[in-house]
Amino acid sequence: MKICYLASLILFVGHAIAICPMAHKMLTEGTTYDATLTNAYPNGHGQAIKRTTGSTVGFDPSSQYVSTTGTHAFVPPGPNDLRGPCPGLNAMANHGYIPHSGIATINEFAQGTSEVFGMGNDLSLFLAIYGTALDGDIPSLSFSIGTGGNSILGSPLSGTGLTGSHNNYEGDVSPTRGDLYEYGDNHDVQMSQFLQLYNLQSNVSDPSRVNYDIDILTAFRLSRFQQSIENNPYFFNGPITGVLVQPAAYQFIFRFMANKSEEYPEGRLDREVLKSFFSITGPEDNLAYTPGQERIPDNWYKRATGDEYGFVSLLLETTSIGLAHPEFLSVGGNTGQVNTFTGVDFADLTGGVFNATTLSEGNNLGCFLLQAIVLALPTGVSGLVGVLDQLEDTVNPLLEEWDCPQLQEIDESLLENYPGFSRQPAK
């Protein structure tokens, strides 16, 4: 597939192209876009990552308030409604920001994530298109947030839904969901994992100071990564599911679930908000999980207009954290037994276009991620190609700005050696 499809997915809206020079400068200099990444993160070469001053966007309660009443009052899922591994999407369906059935179109996903979370249009469209392309129903341009079901056209869905998307959308090392081949369940909260995250702020006695921020979530991810190596014989860290989707699952928790206020315009994620979004109820000594009943908290405020978290934001933050913790960038997995993690040589994987050294230079990590995404998409699918073709006008300026080495293919034959990649665990 032409590389132009890659950029079209990522930079759907024109404003994204305008900030490409800034993104190139940030990636080249190793500078994060947000002050919440601390100088405790080295960049892989023994130097602290530089920081900017963070967002200057203020707080506007009238435009940032997210309704949980009236047409958006909480309604638990019925027996035929679908819920899955993404707590944010489950909450959106329970409050009617996407159809209560759990099946939505690309446009409904894009509109809902913007309205509820302040997700950037480029990122929301990318996620919706990617989910539809790999796990959705192409004729209706929709996908399920859970398992398969009936499409919005009334016919059976052709895709597997998010629950069935292991290793092409959903992957191992989820914050709260279990590894599929460890638990046989990748969609329900594992209370041991939730409590592990929850207890990372147990030493904060003043509830007003509790905040599950990026630093906390990165420490949690490091622990979860090691746990998967130690407990899941089929753990697999893929080029997309491991290097890009996995960090998004952690970063989205703070970037989208933190409650914004005048005091905390960047957001603060306290215990009650965290519990609400993960369908956890009960007192501290008796927390309980009810599947599928994720809620948007009352009196909750999303990201400000002008401070949307888009694809460039995700990419920059992922790059900063990945360079600080190179294990996150290790494509590979266990080989059928625990503690057997073996990585793939990046030069072999990419035909020599990138290697372990060049991947950490300039904007090469971003270049690899962008091009890996497009290489995973199906080609020549009627209906889907039309969606992608509409976006081609955004391509050339981006490619010129990022000046990416041209990745022609990813050698998936190297990944087939891992039983977790093939989704058929070794006997």
3-class secondary structure for 142-178? EEECCCCCECCCCCECCCCCCCCCECCCECCCCCCEC
DSSP 99-148: -TTSEEEHHHHHHHHHHHH-B-HHHHHHHHHHHHHHHSBTTTTEEESSS-
Statement: residue 134 has pLDDT above 60: yes
Q: Which residue has the higher pLDDT, 138 or 227?
A: 227
Return the pLDDT at 379: 66
Is residue 114 within 8 Å of residue 299, measured between CB atoms? no
SS3 301: strand
Per-residue pLDDT band at 114 (split at 50, 70, 90): very high
Helices (H), 175-283: 180-183, 191-198, 214-231, 246-257, 271-277
Domain layout of the chain by residue ranges: 4-422
Structure tokens at 23: 């993104």
Per-residue pLDDT tens for 76-111?
999 999 999 999 999 999 999 999 999 999 999 999
pLDDT bracket for residue 200 (50, 70, 90): very high
Taking CA 416 as the corner, what is the angle to CA 410 and CA 418, rounded to the nearest 5 degrees? 120
Residues 288-301, mean pLDDT to the nearest whole number: 98
d(C-alpha 79, C-alpha 58), whole Å: 42
At 48 the pLDDT is 30
Q: How confident is the model at residue 16 (pLDDT cuts 50, 70, 90)?
A: very low
In CATH terms, the fold of domain 4-422 is Chloroperoxidase (1.10.489)
- Do residues 24 and 401 touch, judged by C-beta distance below 8 A? yes
What pLDDT shows up at residue 399? 54
SS3 state of residue 66:
strand
372-401 residues labelled b (16+ CB within 10 A) or e (exposed): bbbbbbeeeeeebeebbeebeebbeebbeb
Q: Is 85 helix (H, G, I), strand (E, B) or coil?
A: coil
Per-residue model confidence as pLDDT tens digits over 34-75: 323 333 333 333 333 333 334 557 899 999 999 999 999 999
Residue 265 half-sphere exposure toward CB, CA atoms < 13 A:
15
Give residue 387's pLDDT. 63
**Selected residue with higher pLDDT from 54 and 123:** 123
Which residues lie closer than 8 Å to 295 by C-beta, 6 or more apart? Answer: 68, 74, 91, 94, 95, 276, 277, 279
The answer to whether 132 and 203 are in contact (CB under 8 A) is no
How does the average pLDDT of the chain come out, rounded?
Answer: 82
User: What pLDDT does 172 receive?
Assistant: 97
pTM of the predicted protein model = 0.86
pLDDT band for position 128 (50/70/90)? confident
Residue 311, φ and ψ in degrees, nearest 5: -65, -40
> What number is the average pLDDT over the span 243-248?
94
End-to-end CA gap in the chain: 36
What's the pLDDT at 353?
95
Question: How confident is residue 384, by pLDDT bands cut at 50, 70 and 90?
Answer: low
Percentage of residues of the chain with pLDDT beyond 90: 59
Kindly report, residue by residue over 342-365, the tens digit of the pLDDT.
999 999 999 999 998 898 888 888
d(C-alpha 26, C-alpha 4), whole Å: 23
pLDDT of residue 54: 47
Type of residue found at 127: L
| Range list of H helices, 258-394 | 271-277, 311-324, 346-349, 364-376, 384-389
**CB half-sphere exposure, 210, CA atoms < 13 A:** 20
- Residue 427, pLDDT score: 47
Q: What is the pLDDT of residue 393?
A: 42
pLDDT over 70 for what percent of the chain? 79
Task: Give the angle subtended at the CA of 320 by the CAs of 317 and 322, to the nearest 5°.
Answer: 105
User: Which DSSP state fits 416?
Assistant: G
**pLDDT-derived band of residue 312, with 50, 70 and 90 as boundaries?**
confident
Q: Is pLDDT at 242 greater than 90 in this prediction? A: yes
Bridge partners, residue 300, by sequence: 66
